């Protein structure tokens, strides 16, 4: 894939226009990723029970994503066992296991982390042919994702009804791609939003961070919303975020 391509997966259809899209739980897919000297990889983290979707990356190889994967598996014994089986050979007669040489580079495609009480997290490795971005890593790049339609639901009865947070993030989100130049990311974001909303009558706004940072495009229709996000993080911001997370201060998504 190059920077003119866009990931558009069809989400599970809602039961009605006023209902959020539902995420369909996938099966594990441990097929290795094809090697490439020009591809970059991303880790999509999908948590349907909290309706969240996160992207980590781009990275030049699967090994750069492994620490985050191990962290996400750490609270799930079944997931830890699955990950260990992928990383190591079966135990020999001396109960010793040997690391599989190609796993750190080729990894897997989809990995389901089972949680408690029926919850689960899906780890999906996305691959993009993007030699230009790979050549500049680990320098910061612009990563574009799209989300929606997100559906606003209502709670309460009669005069006490109120608008809830828009839902459907887990089911309708995916990667668009990464870009070295801000102008290219902005163009991709605007083209993506046009494709998302189609002929819908919407009110649209853009908000861009100062100093060459990322931004967000929003389009709002009747009871529905679409978002295209442009994430830009340099190493200093990554370190600051990691420090804040270690102290228990969630900083959330940033431009």
Helix and strand counts by DSSP (H, E) for the chain: 7, 11
Is 104 in the same domain as 148? no
Name the token pair of 117. Answer: 């009480």
| pLDDT (tens digit per residue) in 36-63 | 999 999 999 999 999 999 999 999 999 9
Task: Give the separation between CA 94 and CA 91, rounded to whole angstroms.
Answer: 7
**Does 36 map to a domain?**
yes
**Does 12 map to a domain?**
no
**What is the number of domains present in the chain?**
2
Task: Give the separation between CA 239 and CA 140, rounded to whole angstroms.
Answer: 13
Task: Give the separation between CA 211 and CA 88, rounded to whole angstroms.
Answer: 46
Task: Give the separation between CA 143 and CA 229, rounded to whole angstroms.
Answer: 8
**Does 128 map to a domain?**
yes
Range of the domain at 189: 138-245
Q: Which of 103, 118, 133 corresponds to the end of one domain?
A: 133
Q: Confidence class of residue 153 from pLDDT cuts 50, 70 and 90?
A: confident
| pLDDT (tens digit per residue) in 203-248 | 999 999 988 899 999 999 888 899 999 999 754 445 444 554 454 4
- Confidence (pTM): 0.82
**Does 69 map to a domain?**
yes
Looking at per-residue confidence, does 6 or 166 come out higher? 166
CA 249 to each of CA 107, 241, 242, 246, 252: distance values in angstroms, whole numbers, following the listed order: 31, 9, 10, 7, 9
**Does 46 map to a domain?**
yes
Is 157 in the same domain as 100? no
**Does 3 map to a domain?**
no
Q: Are 180 and 58 in contact (CB under 8 A)?
A: no
How far the first Cα of the chain sits from its last, in Å, is 25
Looking at per-residue confidence, does 114 or 97 come out higher? 114
pLDDT given for residue 164 in this prediction: 60
């Amino acid at each position: 894939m190059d920077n003119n391509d866009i990931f558009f997966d069809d989400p599970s259809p809602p039961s009605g226009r006023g209902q959020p899209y539902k995420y369909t739980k996938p099966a594990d897919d441990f097929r290795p990723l094809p090697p490439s000297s020009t591809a970059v990889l991303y880790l999509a983290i999908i948590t349907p029970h909290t309706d969240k979707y996160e992207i980590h990356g781009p990275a030049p190889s699967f090994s750069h994503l492994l620490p985050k994967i191990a962290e996400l598996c750490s609270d799930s014994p079944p997931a830890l066992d699955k990950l260990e089986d992928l990383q190591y050979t079966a135990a020999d007669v001396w109960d010793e296991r040997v690391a599989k040489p190609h796993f750190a580079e080729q990894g897997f495609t989809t990995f389901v982390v089972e949680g408690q009480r029926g919850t689960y997290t899906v780890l999906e490795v996305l691959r993009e042919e993007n030699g230009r971005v790979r050549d500049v890593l680990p320098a910061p790049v612009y990563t574009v994702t799209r989300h929606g339609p997100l559906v606003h639901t209502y709670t309460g009865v009669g005069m006490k009804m109120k608008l809830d947070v828009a839902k459907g993030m887990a089911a309708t989100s995916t990667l668009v791609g990464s870009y070295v130049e801000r102008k290219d990311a902005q163009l991709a974001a605007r083209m993506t939003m046009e494709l998302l909303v189609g002929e819908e009558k919407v009110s649209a706004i853009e908000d861009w961070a100062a100093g060459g940072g990322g931004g967000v495009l929003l389009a709002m229709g009747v009871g529905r919303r679409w978002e295209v996000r442009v994430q830009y993080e340099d190493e200093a911001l990554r370190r600051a975020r990691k420090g804040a997370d270690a102290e228990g201060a969630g900083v959330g998504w940033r431009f």
